[in-house]
Structures are given as C-alpha cells and as structure tokens.
Amino acid sequence: MVSLYSGAGGLDLGFRQAGYELEFANDLDPLARESYSLVHSDAPGQIDHEYVVGDLSADFSVLGRRESSVLVGGPPCQGFSRAGRMNPSDPRSRHVRAFIQAAESMRPRAFVMENVRALATHPRWTSVLDTLKDEAHLAGYETTTLLLNARDYGVPQSRERMFLIGYRRGDLDVDILRRPVGLRRSSVRSALQALGHPGPTWQQCRARIVPALAPVIRRSPFAGMMFNGQGRPLDLDGVAPTISASLGGNHTPIVDQLWLDNPDERGLATRTYHHQVVSGGHAEVPTSWRRISLREAAALQGFPDVAWDAPLSARFRHVGNAVPPPLAQEVATRLRLALGSPAMATPDKVKLGGLQLTA
C-alpha cells in the first residue's frame, strides 16, 4: 500500500494490522514524520519503508505505476468539517481532488480516502463529492462510500467518518465491503485504566478549568459548555466525544480522577456540579478534576502506548487529526475480503511501536 497525507499514521497502522505491507508514506508536516516513526517503529526515527516530507500534488508521477497496490489517505478535512467554518474556498480542500489525481497517476488496484462525515452528507458538499466520483470514474474506478463511527469498532470515542473507496470495475464485492467485521465496544474508563498513569508531567495539559461566564447547559452533565473553551467532563462509563486536533488548551476534555480510581463514585462530583449550575446555586470546580494528557488522548484514539516526545502542541494535533487505528483496521479488513484477498496474511500479532498489537 501507498499512503498520502499520512500524518501520525493512524490509517496506516490499521492497514498494517490487517496485513497490508507499507511501501511509501507522505505528509506535508515534517513533525508528523517524527510522530509517525514513534507509532510505526521500535526505534524512534527508524521506519522500514520510504516516508517523504513535502507536497507531491504538483507531480504525482514520482510515485510511479503501482497497479498491485492500494492507495490510502486522509486529505485535510477542515474545510468540510462542521466543527470549522465549512468554507468552500478553504485552500486545504483542494487536496481531496489531488488525492483522486494521485490515483489516476498511480493506477492502484483500489483506493481509500478518509474524510469527515459532512463531505458525504451535508448538502453544501454534494457537488464536491459528485465531482470526486466523476473524476474517479473517468480514471477507470467505480466508487462507493462507507459512513462509520469509531465507537462501534473498539474505540472509546464517538467519531463519524466517511471513507470513499474506489475500485476497478468488476474487481470488488460491494456487499462484502459493507458487511461489518469487528463490531465491539469500549469505554473511556477501560482505555484510561489500561494506561494506569496519564504520563510524564510535560504531556499533561496545564489549562485551568474555569467556569464559563455564560454556560451552555444541557440535560446531560457531560454535554453543553459549562467551562472556558469546549472541554467537557468525560463520561467514564461511556465514550468520549470526538477528539479534536485543537487539544492542549481549554478544548481538552476533563476527567474526574476520583471517579476513575473508584467506579462506585458514579460521577457524583460531575453530576453535583451540573445540578448546582442548573439550579443557579454556587458551584465549585471539584479538586479531583483534571484535563486529559497527550498519552490519554492517544489512548482514546486507539493508538498504542508509545513514548511520545515534544513538542506537545504538535503531538496533540497529530493525534487529534488521525484516523483511529481500530477503525482503519475495520475498513482495511473489509477491503481485503471484498477484493478477494485473505482477511489476514500476517501473524495475529504485529509488533509496532515496541508493543505487541492484536490484529
């Protein structure tokens, strides 16, 4: 497989876990390569396949013809995201068309482009998606889309994503592609308790938890905006909201350490605070609250536990922008089956990032 817009390599990791062999990866951000190397190698800085930093969109011919490969990538999504301004003129949005151009140049057996759900469902982007499909069709590919939520595939986070999948005509069983392989659920508590510790001090978010002057209240104590920024208390027995690339400040989610240590607490401090705010009374921020660390954000994305290094803001961005590896593995396994390949061509356990990861 060949990977473009690779970032920290969450999409690539999921494909590796499903038995794909990486040949080439690429991203614009030189710091992303450092994060990628931590996730994909036993020795920081060492990757066993080519990783090129830079913009290849001006000439994808440097990739050559790779007709037996699969092309994957997650072009920038900020221009299409509901969390952003949904600006049709956002220059980053051109990269979705560049990805199709890369497929036209490489002629892979299939391609998988990941992006936000809105690109496939919001009326504003209907013409954009139609254009992508038309261009893929002219290049000789049929297309189909999958809309999946990471919470259904072992990721303790609600994260809906679209996967535009292209394939040569008659070379893929769409019914198999749409058939779930790994339905399973996980919780915030299980992910954070498996770590046992939030990580070194430098990885921990120092943004204070300050009550909002004009709080937005919802029925659930885990929704709304009761504090400065959009960081909300996490329901440890449920799944987290979408982990964003803007973590590291007051957008960073909040965890109740007392509840994490003692499940019998049942989030009483969070529920009490919410009740006090709703009733208009005085509400004190619980002393047991803190914001999640980089290590914990990575766990909520489904990454292996690796020795993330500085700079903190860049690593938070890399983690937040990534495709959760378990979600990527679900797509990769479906694709292998739909293409008529064995679901797993590698051992059940793949050693990545210094860990044995069950595939």
Give one word for 19, left, alpha or beta, with left for phi > 0 and alpha for psi -120 to 50.
Answer: left
- In Å, what is the CA distance from 34 to each residue of 1, 47, 244? 20, 10, 20
Are 297 and 72 in contact, with CB atoms under 8 Å apart? no
Residues 6+ away with beta carbon under 8 Å from 303: 8, 10, 13, 39, 319, 322, 324, 325
SS3 19: coil
The encoded tokens of residue 299 equal 């766990």
Instruction: Indicate which residue of 77, 155, 164, 245 is catalytic.
Output: 77
- In Å, what is the CA distance from 64 to each residue of 73, 171, 304, 337? 17, 22, 32, 26
**Cα 359 from Cα 300, distance rounded (Å):** 18
Is residue 77 among the annotated active site residues?
yes
Find how far residue 133's CA is from the centre of its chain. Answer: 23
DSSP string covering 345-359: -S-SEEEETTEEEE-
Catalytic residue ranges = 77
